[in-house]
Amino acid sequence: MSRAHRSDPTHASRDGVLRRWGIPVGIGVAVAALIAGVFWVQQEPATTPTQGSGGSSTSSEQPAAIEHPESVAAPDLSSQEGRDPDDQLAEGPVDAPVVLVMFSDFQCSFCAKWSDETLPEMREYVERGELRIEYRDVNIYGEDSERAARASLAAAMQGEHAQYHALLFEDGEIRSGQGLSEESLVELAGQIGLDTEQFAADMNSEQVAETIAENAQQGIDLGAMSTPAFIIGGTPTAGAQPTEVFTELVDKALAESEG
């Protein structure tokens, strides 16, 4: 029996979202697992592997036994950094030594928690010119998330992304479904003094929809089906871990960037 036709099992993620472990289309289940709430959580340092057995085919031409690895190598995802000077969903210098890409969803409670607790500390690095943050909304929770993502870009187009983003995650909480209706989102824009007419037009524009769809696709292509997920200095990590985990990762990436 080949396994090529096995049925798709499912498994609940930490966020309570069902995620598929089964036969993938495209990148595959392995990549889906990549950000399934446990997206390359901090790598344990590789220790000296144990000596492998000799194997059975041992002619003088056989290669030396391959050591047994103890952990999985994390990829270098630096290529996923936009560093686009026109990117309105980014904070910090385009040429910052370290980029943090955040894959998020406006209905993800852990994303709200991270934005409330950890983002302020990350912004200290931004202020020092050491870090650039690029926001990518994957909108895995559907239409309301996607609308909120478009709204955040509309706010960004008026120079108020950070403030609007903070309102959507106020006090580390997510807004309810009604709180993400178009009316509510426009009203929220008014609260921070944005041109609400322009805001509504931008939020519903084709260009904004396209940008948000592209950003979401980037996350989906990487398997970011559980949020929040991050790429810090090219290294993926997942989950709203304690702030010190992120400061350590950024510090490490900064040290590496200095050679």
Taking the complex as a whole, how short is the minimal distance between the CB of residue 193 and other proteins, in angstroms?
43
Choice from 16, 57, 178, 183 touching other proteins (CB under 8 A): 57
Residue 172 binds other proteins, judged by CB under 8 A: no
Choice from 67, 95, 173, 210 touching other proteins (CB under 8 A): 67
- Put residue 133 in one of left, alpha, beta given phi > 0 → left and psi -120 to 50 → alpha: beta
Give the torsion sign (CA, 101, 159, 142, 177).
Answer: positive
Q: How far apart are CA 175 and CA 60, in angstroms?
A: 67
Cβ-proximal residues to 132 (8 Å cutoff; 6+ apart), any chain = 81, 83, 90, 91, 92, 93, 94, 96, 98, 99, 100, 126
- Closer residue to other proteins in complex, CB, 92/228: 228
Residue 120 binds other proteins, judged by CB under 8 A: no
Return the range that interacts with other proteins (CB under 8 A); candidates 58-66, 128-136, 165-173, 190-198. 58-66
Return the range that interacts with other proteins (CB under 8 A); candidates 36-44, 157-165, 167-175, 177-185. 36-44
Q: Do the beta carbons of residue 172 and residue 117 sit within 8 Å? A: yes
Residue 79 binds other proteins, judged by CB under 8 A: no
Cβ-proximal residues to 85 (8 Å cutoff; 6+ apart), any chain = 94
CA-nearest of 148, 158, 212 to 183 is 148
Q: How far apart are CA 157 and CA 178, in angstroms?
A: 24
Choice from 12, 15, 75, 85 touching other proteins (CB under 8 A): 75
Site string for other proteins, 196-235 (x = CB under 8 A): ---------------------------x------------
Question: DSSP 3-state assignment of 182?
Answer: helix
Residue 53 binds other proteins, judged by CB under 8 A: yes
- Closer residue to other proteins in complex, CB, 68/128: 68
Q: Which of residues 12-31 bind other proteins (CB under 8 A)?
A: 21, 24, 26-31
Residue 71 binds other proteins, judged by CB under 8 A: yes
Q: How many chain residues bind other proteins (CB under 8 A)?
A: 53
Q: 35 burial class (0-12, 13-18, 19+ CB within 10 angstroms)?
A: buried
Residue 181 carries which DSSP code? S
The contact set with other proteins (CB under 8 A) reads 1-4, 6, 9, 21, 24, 26-31, 33-34, 36-41, 43, 46-51, 53-63, 65-76, 223
